[in-house]
Structure 1
């Protein structure tokens, strides 16, 4: 009897112990933070996706916290006529992206509206479809987005979309490192390493990292092409004829036309807080079955385009100069000429603006650009030959289908730029000075769009800020330009708003380069985790070996 009691007591003890054990395990599972990962990436750009894929393939947990719903930034947002420069220096995941695009267009199904043979094979400097290297550099927006989505799905990468960083109280730092970030929805993400892969640099700025907005003076870094560039006329994006900026031509008392500044442009070579113009890279088509006529925007005012009417009156005939052809009878249409899709001078406060103000700026840009298209297609002052051709074009019905066929991403050509461990300048790009610790290469022209539209001393209007200067071949980009100063933050990398001068960023800012730098930044973050060190103390020789093994081109 006593033996049976002891047996029963023993079983009860075991049962209670087991129940307690599993209860504790359940509580641990419940309390484990689901928003924790080795690497937290803020942004939804091409750099963000590239970084996330690199992190995941390297065996690290990663969460992409994206303010965007659509992945890929400008690459999937209309910029399908890729600005590449020397394509031989595009390696790693960036090259994989363009290879996947190539594979898509190597199928009959890809050519819905146009036979492949009819499209031809024209690209920027090389064939659009490079059979030798199995890459495709020219593509439709939805194709790019599908490639990014495929990469995320294949690697099982978690992407939390429409999550906006709380820029007031959303970054927690301890001993010089970011511990967590919190979004406006109230979600908190905890990680060991963080990447800011946004065009705006919001995480970088909220973390207290130094940055610059605008153009540095020529003397800051000893550059020729920085600062105000009055009288420097590149790219044909300037007024070739004498055009009056006044409502009544030649009469200052009648007031200025819209979109002309009455302020002094500043002393040549001096710095300012102005930034190059933004626009949307619109995807157009002249294929009737897929064409949506240009919509007339609410609040349309033809007076906003009076300057363009005067440019047409002066005999300008290059309106269709940047209707660059992408597959299926579509275009990547970019700014071209003295008055075009670039909304000059209307974005100066964008980098530092609140989310609400940024939305206003984006909406104003959309209204301006839609009004511009409507004006050229409908206003009686437009030359008949240009207007009749323009009426054959419209927005592509099968692109940006959830946004009225309008691009979901404005072209933020420049916003904040970090001031990090190393600052890239035109001197490194022109090989006047060596670049230490290469983590990738660029090669595109140092390219700034116009910054302001002003009145010259002779009383006529002119644009200022457009620069196009060759880098005379590929150049290296320093690891130091991806990391903040160590005393400011030890576990943050910034592959988009990199540490560079205004004019150097004019070349670095190309989408393939952002993909390259996104991958390199993630590889560095992985090494910093493995070695339990700061991003500034990552051994470059270790990083170099990893990057070369991954197919990056460093020299």
Structure 2
């Protein structure tokens, strides 16, 4: 029997019996824990599994490890850094050690850089942590985790989302990738931003914003007229090609759909963008080129924003070492491609690729527009001439980030649903496995036409919790009747508003580590993850210096 025939026969046995075949081929792999996703959560989880003496395989669709943490988001959303413990804190300690080396400062002196961070100093010498960093420095830390722990990582391996998950009696037995590889395990962790394994395993999830009455919340659902950041149109700007003339049609990038009633649910997602790493060193910048398919008319709305006097172009060119930035969305018309990601979570791989290409074209076109179009104020164009893509970052991808910022995709409806009540401190959280502290943070979900014919954005929220809050173990777990050996530390069980705070990279690392500890203990105890004795998990996490409630701050 040839190799393909053997594989087909093996997969048939899996499908028919619910049991993995005994297969010694090169396309069948076994481990105690299978982690799908090479994100920061996935690598933290793999390290913890190894620390607990179990075997682990990381199956990563991506070539580059670390997700957003190595994909441009170097101006870390820390919130209260005192509640970041365990392997997450170790990651930021390793970043600190990197920048203690003189060799790390190639384009800028350490003294020139300063110490600006997001709500905290970039470099905390007393705690030996650093919270702001270049993409390549972060990726090297993840690669160091891999090499030091002898982790086996299978890259460019994509889950067969149609028929690649084999279950038996409520447990995942094995997963198969599009290349034909089969990965058999006792426990599985979905560490992807999209929740593809969770969905393929038949676990319940939600996409979009729940209505406020689903969980008795305030900040969920449609939020027309709510402006908690500066990402809205502060002036009356016509939505039409010919100002004031509806018959001329809408300008590009504006939806013709009504926004909906406040507090109602919808399937809209907060916008995605790429966190570009820009450089202003003349020897380390690549000028913004005109992308193929560029159409300057799609940025007419931004031209009108400038004409109205807006002057905050460079507000979120947040400094990272070596004269670089983590460049994020800012203002009413910026790098967020509003309303163009709704189909992304459920889209096929090919459809997702097309969505990503549209995001790239929009964002590259925006940068070219800012640098060259005469409708942009001269002072902005002159400043843009000092910037370009960092030549020494993302060198195998045209200096463009390899990971789009998937701010929200699927969210599990699991064993315990975190809501704004827990995040804002109004409800006690059972069985904590980590903490969060960032604000309820959602970017805009739509751009629409007002009754007066003007353009406006909707969906941007920023509500600060009074204190850091605990995150329940149950938020990592599917309902027991749906799957007994899967943990989900990224697309966690939470409402849209709660996820707006939880969705930060340090928290994903925290939850990845806690999920891995739970998976390992569940193997030892031979129990479903939902039946694990929490006191056992708590003891392990405390030993790992995980912070789980305010009394446990570092």
Structure label with greater radius of gyration: 1
Structure 2 residue runs without a partner (length 5+) = 1-21, 550-554
**Counterparts of 2:344 and 2:208 in 1: how far apart (Å)?**
11
Q: CA deviation at 1:31?
A: 6.4
Instruction: Tell me the alpha carbon deviations over residues 153-206 of structure 1, each in whole angstroms, 9 at most, x when there is no partner.
Output: 110000000000000110000000000000000000000000000000000000
2:526 matches 1:532: yes
Structure 1 CA distance for aligned equivalents of residues 104 and 494 of structure 2: 39
Work out whether 1:211 is the aligned partner of 2:171. no
Any idea what the Cα deviations from partners look like across 1:246-275, whole Å, max 9, x if unmatched? 000110000000110111101110000110
Q: Name which of 271, 275, 283 aligns with 2:265.
A: 271
Matched, 1:413 2:382: no
**What is residue 433 of structure 1 aligned with on the other side?**
427
Matched residue, 2:465: 471
Residues 20-42 of structure 1 deviation map (CA, whole Å, 9 limit, x = unaligned): xxxxxxxx995698510000000
**1:94 correspondence with 2:85:** no
Question: 1:124 Cα shift?
Answer: 1.5
Offset of residue 234 of structure 1: 1.5
Q: 1:246 — aligned with what?
A: 240
Query: 1:44 corresponds to which residue?
Result: 38
Q: 1:472 offset after TM fit, Å?
A: 1.2
What is the distance in 2 between the residues matched to 1:127 and 1:454?
38
Q: Take 1:424 and 1:215, find their aligned partners in 2: how far apart are those partners?
A: 14
1:301–1:32 Cα change, 3 Å: closer
Match of 1:111 in 2: 105
- Does the Cα contact within 8 Å between 2:407 and 2:503 map onto a contact in 1? yes
Kindly provide the CA deviation profile for residues 415-447 of structure 1, in whole angstroms up to 9, marking residues without a partner as x: 000000000000001111111000000000110
Could you tell me how far apart the structure 1 residues matched to 2:100 and 2:466 are?
33
Distance 1:126 1:30 in 2: 52
CA distance in 2, matches of 1:32, 1:355: 25
Q: Which residue of 2 aligns with 1:17?
A: none
Residue of structure 2 in register with 1:507 after alignment:
501
Alignment match of 1:150 (pick from 134, 144, 150): 144
Aligned to 1:8: none
**Cα distance, 1:57 vs structure 2:** 1.1
Aligned equivalents of 2:125, 2:159: Cα separation in 1:
42
State how far apart, in whole Å, the 1-side matches of 2:467 and 2:504 are.
15
2:255–2:446 contact (8 Å) kept in structure 1: yes
User: Residue in 2 aligned with 1:12?
Assistant: none
Partner of 2:371: 377
Q: Find out whether 1:359 has 2:353 as its counterpart.
A: yes
Q: Secondary structure at the match of 1:212?
A: strand
Shift of 1:46: 0.2
Match of 1:326 in 2: 320
Q: Specify the alignment match of 1:182 in structure 2.
A: 176
What TM-score does the superposition give when structure 2 sets the normalisation length? 0.94
Q: Does 2:537 correspond to 1:543?
A: yes
Q: 1:166 aligns with which of 150, 160, 164?
A: 160
Residue aligning to 1:484: 478
2:290 to 271, 289, 296: 296
Q: What residue is the counterpart of 1:226 in the other structure?
A: 220
Q: For 2:203 and 2:217, locate their aligned partners in 1 and report how far apart those are by CA, in whole Å.
A: 24
**What are the superposed Cα offsets for residues 207-234 of structure 1, whole Å, 9 maximum, x if unpaired?**
0000000000010000010000001012
Specify the SS of the correspondent of 2:167: strand
- Match of 2:393, SS state, is coil
Deviations 1:69-94 (A, max 9, x none): 00000000000000010000000000
Runs of 4+ in 1 over 2 A off after TM superposition: 28-34
Unaligned 5+ segments in structure 1 are 1-27
Provide the aligned length of Structure 1 versus Structure 2: 528
2:335 alignment counterpart = 341
Which residue matches 1:10?
none
> Which of residues 134, 139, 146 is equivalent to 1:140?
134
- Pick the aligned partner of 2:185 from 175, 188, 191: 191
- Partners of 2:189 and 2:487 within 8 A in 1: yes
Instruction: Please state whether the residue corresponding to 1:165 is helix, strand or coil.
Output: coil
How far the C-alpha of 1:473 sits from its partner, in A, is 1.4
Distance in 1 (alpha carbons) for counterparts of 2:293 and 2:119: 41
Match of 2:449 in 1: 455
What is the alpha-carbon distance in structure 2 between the residues aligned to residue 368 and residue 32 of structure 1? 42
Asked whether 1:56 is paired with 2:58, we answer: no
**Alignment CA distance shift 1:184-1:34 (3 Å):** closer
Aligned match of 2:116:
122
Q: Does structure 1 retain, via aligned residues, the 8 Å contact 2:28–2:182?
A: no
User: Secondary structure of the residue that 1:497 maps to in structure 2?
Assistant: coil
Q: Is the 8 A contact 2:303 2:375 kept in 1?
A: yes
Which of 392, 398, 411 aligns to 1:398? It is: 392
CA contact (8 A) 2:444 2:459 kept: yes
CA distance in 2, matches of 1:461, 1:367: 23
Preserved CA contact (<8 Å) 2:418 2:498: yes
Q: How does 1:67-78 map to 2 (within 5 A)?
A: 67-78=61-72
Query: CA offsets, 1:474-519, max 9 Å, x none?
Result: 0000000000000000000000000000010000000000000000
Which of residues 286, 309, 313 in structure 2 aligns to 1:315?
Answer: 309
1:131 aligns with 2:131: no
When the two chains are superposed, the root-mean-square deviation of aligned CA atoms in Å is 1.0
